[in-house]
Amino acid sequence: MLDTLSLDLLEKAVKVLDKYSLCDHCLGRLFARVGYGLENYERGQAIKNTIFLLTYYTLQKTTDESLREKLLDIIRKLARTGHEPSLRFLREKLNQDIQVEKCYICEDKYFNNIDNIVQNILETISSAGYEFKTYYVGTSISREVVKRELDLSVEFGIDTAESIKRELNRLIGKKIKERLPPDKVFSRQDADIEIVVNMETGEVKLEVKPLYILTRYRKIFRGVSQVQLRLNVITSLQKVLNEKLATELEAAEAIVHASGREDTDVRMLGDGRPLVIAFVRPRKRPSLETIRELFLNKFDDEPVELVDSVTKTQHATIVKLKQESSRHTKIYRAIVLLDQDVDEEKLRSLEQYFRNRQITQYTPRRIKRKPLKKRVRMVYELRATKIAPRLIELLIKCQGGLYVKELITGDEGRTTPSIADTLGINAEPIELDVLDVLETRS
């Protein structure tokens, strides 16, 4: 018997095969972490061959009929898995024909059909017409198969297995790579398209990943929103991007993800506001240079423009932009109308007071869509210049997320301290511009 062998792997394999018929793939996969440079079917074949050789060798040496019957039973269990040497030995030497059984785990449904699946994938990619440089292959299989595989590993205490999905993904991925041009690269983390194969039906689906572009935008006219079109809005950044760029890339749409936002009546100047544009299901994925040319050439006479700093990025950048928005430093210019004139001394006092000043704000009255919520932001520096009687210009360097209009007016006590309260008079912003959005405070 193989009990005399010290090889735990073979002992476990014999016990598994005594109870279940497994194909080469599924047997080898149970011991995927054993050995090097072997595919699972090669590992499965090697295990079956080794068991057969050792069993046959012992069979030839022993005259113990009880032991011989046990050894022959091992060979019969090998034969029912389709192991050709065992089948041939039993047929030719003992005149025994063994019925080959389906694999207990995969039921022989998957691995013999891989070439057909690969051909289906290639035809699907070709007919869909999507440009791509990177791809990933995934599979879906029945829960019953996954459960049988897991239960078997637990039953026999096997901790060297890999999942059937992992093996299928790898085998299909390798064959796809052999058939695709060399400039198409397999990528788990940054795939342009994900190929998903239903292993039960053979259906192939392409999940086209968005093309994410990190850039900055400037809004050079007032009356432009980021996304929504509503009363008193000329257009929106998102509408312009869809008209000018999404059509060029043959994308379903362009979606705006910006680091914060300015009000519709506020311009965004300077180096612009950080922005990720997500082009959904693009058929074209041009080079960065081509995208940069589109950015520079497509926005003549538009109220918004994109800077020439262009980087391809991933969805995680959107999350990062949102999270870091309040940590950015922003510089505003406001033209403020006062209900009384002020002298230079008051303006200098105002500047001094708002140096590194903490501001407490509650959701402004003008914002109806948000619940009442407290936020605390910093004003780092303020410069005030008188430009006409009752008219001053303010340069405000502050933390992202500060409601600047309310900093000026006080919003009936919802923002404290405020410019109006500090001067002791009413103050109303009549023009407001974002001059810069700094990635880090300086």
Q: 159-182, pLDDT tens digit by residue?
A: 999 999 999 999 999 999 999 999
pLDDT of residue 7: 65
Q: How many CB atoms within 10 Å of residue 379?
A: 21
Q: Which two tokens stand for residue 357?
A: 């000043």
Model confidence pLDDT, tens digit, residues 271-313: 999 999 999 999 999 999 999 888 888 888 889 999 878 999 9
Residues 6+ apart with CB under 8 A from 429: 334, 335, 336, 337, 404, 405, 408, 409
Chain centroid to CA 274: 20
Domains 211-325 and 328-438 share a fold: yes
| Fold topology of 211-325 | Alpha-Beta Plaits (3.30.70)
Phi, psi of 159 (to 5 degrees): -120, 20
Query: 328-438: which CATH architecture?
Result: 2-Layer Sandwich (3.30)
pLDDT at 198: 96
Torsion 227-229-233-239 (CA) sign = positive
CB burial of 209-218 (b: ≥16 within 10 Å; e: otherwise) equals bbbbbbbbbb
- How confident is the model over 381-419, as pLDDT tens digits? 999 999 999 999 999 999 999 999 999 999 999 999 999
pLDDT per position as a tens digit, 46-104: 999 999 999 999 999 999 999 999 999 999 999 999 999 999 999 999 999 999 999 99
- Calculate mean pLDDT across residues 328-349: 96
**Cα angle, residue 412 at apex, residues 411 and 417 outer, rounded to 5°:** 70
Report the percent of the chain where pLDDT is more than 90: 85
The domains of the chain are located at 2-94, 111-207, 211-325, 328-438
Q: Give the DSSP letter string of 102-121.
A: PPTTTTT-SGGGHHHHHHHH
The CATH topology of domain 111-207 is VC0802-like (3.30.2130)
